[in-house]
Amino acid sequence: MQIDSEFELFRDNFRRFLNEYVAPYYEQWEEQGLIPREIWNRLGENGFLCVDVPEQYGGYGAPVHYSLMLVQETAQAGFTSLAVAIGGQSELVSPYIQNIGSEQQKNFWLPKMVTGEVVSAIAMTEANAGSDLQAIRTQAILHNQYYLVDGSKTFISNGHHADLIVLVAKTDPQARAKGISILLVDAQLEGVKKGRCLKKIGLHAQDTAELFFDQVHVPNNQLLGEAGKGFSYLMQELPRERLSISMMALGSMLGAIELTKTYVQERKAFGQALSQFQNTRFVLAQAQIKAKAAQAFVQQCADLYSQEQLTVSEVAALKCFITDTQCEIMDQLLQLFGGYGYMQEYPISRFFVDARVQKIYGGTNEIMKEIVARELLGK
């Protein structure tokens, strides 16, 4: 997509929003271990949620690049916990409903997600089933007008604040992939319980929770698409999640390079700025080169996505490359800060700890390599 003045204006507005409503409070949110519920409403009021949702459901119907830009910018500013939160709503859940939901489901959920009245999460992972999603045990058994849901999920982003849980469950517990379906579960339903917010080595302000379902009656009109097709819907929608993760990776790299550039020009050792040492110059130059390559790759994939041509294998290659590169760069840039890089008050330390999970969620990078290898070599 060509970046035009409208896109730039939207980006500037969002940068102003981050400066005003996020920057002054982010450290406090990290200490509390949670972004506040109100930020969702503020994001919604200002038009920064689910921007690609068509106008008839309350959105702008903006190109996907606008939505991706918001997660990139949030990560670039160093607010990765918030980027994950926004991504969960706008990049993960909303496309499922837009692409697979019934008219009734779209009319009910999407406008509320755009305004921030509804916070959403997608719940696939269980304690004993992460990479091997076909092994999930949460069940949703059809009884006339409703599905009876029992089971539990873990590591769910936006889980604590979630009003809507897009739940991946077995409607046929005997089958593997063909027994999987997706339900839109209202978190207010009796029997839905939220566990603790999980303590993590990074993403300290990100709401990551366990969810429990005890004899929950989910109306059968909240089945997403058709029963038994859940696994193929996941395969269809996971590229968008991986594209969003890749955009966050790009944002983080650009943000960390900028921070480091400033630091090495100010900090002195042996009578000169760190930026005068060849090692510093090469490390930063190398980071810049890799970020540029990453940017070209991610833009290409975003364009392919907008033309409905992004394949599972292409985006797997992108997610693996860009998040590996991100972690590598963060380690090298942090090193240039010396001991200060290890101190929480220096934002580079946050870029570093927040990066690590990028190689894990959205499908681990080993699974990404499996996908790429399968295309290269067959099964």
* Cβ burial, residue 248 (10 Å; 0-12/13-18/19+): buried
Identify the bridge partners of residue 354 per DSSP, sorted by sequence position: none
Measuring CA to CA, which residue among 266, 268, 258 is closest to residue 333? 258
Two structure tokens written together for 332: 């090298």
Q: Counting contacts by CB under 6 A, is residue 370 touching ligand FAD?
A: yes
**x/- site string to ligand FAD, residues 197 to 216, per CB under 6 A?**
---x--x----x--------
Q: Counting contacts by CB under 6 A, is residue 332 touching ligand FAD?
A: no
Binder to ligand FAD among 12, 117, 266, 366 (CB under 6 A)?
366
Q: Counting contacts by CB under 6 A, is residue 364 touching ligand FAD?
A: yes
Q: Is 20 one of the annotated active-site residues of the chain?
A: no
Residue with smaller CB distance to ligand FAD, 98 or 365: 365
Q: Counting contacts by CB under 6 A, is residue 87 touching ligand FAD?
A: no
Measuring CA to CA, which residue among 84, 93, 85, 79 is closest to residue 17? 79
CB 336 within 8 A of CB 264: yes
- Which distant-in-sequence residues (6+ apart) come within 8 Å of 138 by Cβ? 126, 149, 150, 151, 152, 153, 167, 168, 169, 170, 213
Can you list the alpha helix ranges (DSSP code H) found in 26-157?
Answer: 26-32, 37-45, 64-76, 80-86, 94-100, 103-115
Give the range of 14-22, 189-197, 345-353, 362-370 binding ligand FAD by CB under 6 A: 362-370
Smallest gap from residue 115 Cβ to ligand FAD (A): 22
Footprint on residues 88-147 left by ligand FAD (CB under 6 A): 88, 121-125, 130-131
Catalytic pick from 27, 241, 258, 308?
Answer: 241
Q: Counting contacts by CB under 6 A, is residue 357 touching ligand FAD?
A: yes
Residue with smaller CB distance to ligand FAD, 73 or 207: 207
Residue with smaller CB distance to ligand FAD, 34 or 203: 203
Please state, in angstroms and rounded to a whole number, the distance separating the CA atoms of residues 321 and 368.
Answer: 9
Q: Please give the positions annotated as active site.
A: 241
Instruction: Name the residues that contact ligand FAD, by CB under 6 A.
Output: 88, 121-125, 130-131, 155-157, 200, 203, 208, 357, 360-361, 363-364, 366-367, 370
